[in-house]
Structure 1
Amino acid sequence: MKWQPHFATGDAQIDEQHKMLFTTSDQFRHTLEAGEGERTYDLFLDFLNAYCEMHFAVEEKCMFAHKCPVAALNHHEHTLFLKLLEQENAWFREHGFDAARATAMLDKLDQWLESHICRIDIRLNEVLD
Structure 2
Amino acid sequence: MILNWNNTFAVGNNNIDEQHKELFYRLNKLLEAMKEGKGKGEVITTLDFLEEYVVKHFTDEEEIQRKNNYPKLNIQHKQHEEFKNELKELRRTFESTGVSSLFVINTQQKMVKWCKDHIMSSDKELGNFLMKNTK
Instruction: Kindly indicate whether residue 24 of structure 2 is the aligned counterpart of residue 22 of structure 1.
Output: yes
What are structure 2's unaligned runs of at least 5 residues?
Answer: none
Q: Quick one: percent identity of the two aligned structures?
A: 29
Aligned pairs, number: 129
Deviation above 6 Å: which 4+ runs of structure 1?
Answer: none
Give the alignment partner of residue 126 of structure 1, picking from 124, 128, 135: 128
Q: Alignment partner for residue 67 of structure 2, among 48, 65, 68?
A: 65
TM-score (norm 2): 0.81
Q: What CA RMSD, in Å, does the superposition of the two structures yield over aligned residues?
A: 2.0
Residue 12 of structure 2 aligns to which amino acid in structure 1? G
Determine helix, strand or coil for the equivalent of 1:28: helix
Query: Cα distance, 1:39 vs. partner?
Result: 5.0
> Who is 1:56 aligned against?
58
State whether residues 33 and 43 of structure 2, in contact with CA within 8 Å, keep that contact through their aligned partners in structure 1.
Answer: no
Unaligned runs of 5+ in 1: none
- Secondary structure class of the residue paired with 1:69: coil
* 2:9/2:119 contact within 8 Å kept: yes
* Deviation, structure 1 residue 98: 3.5
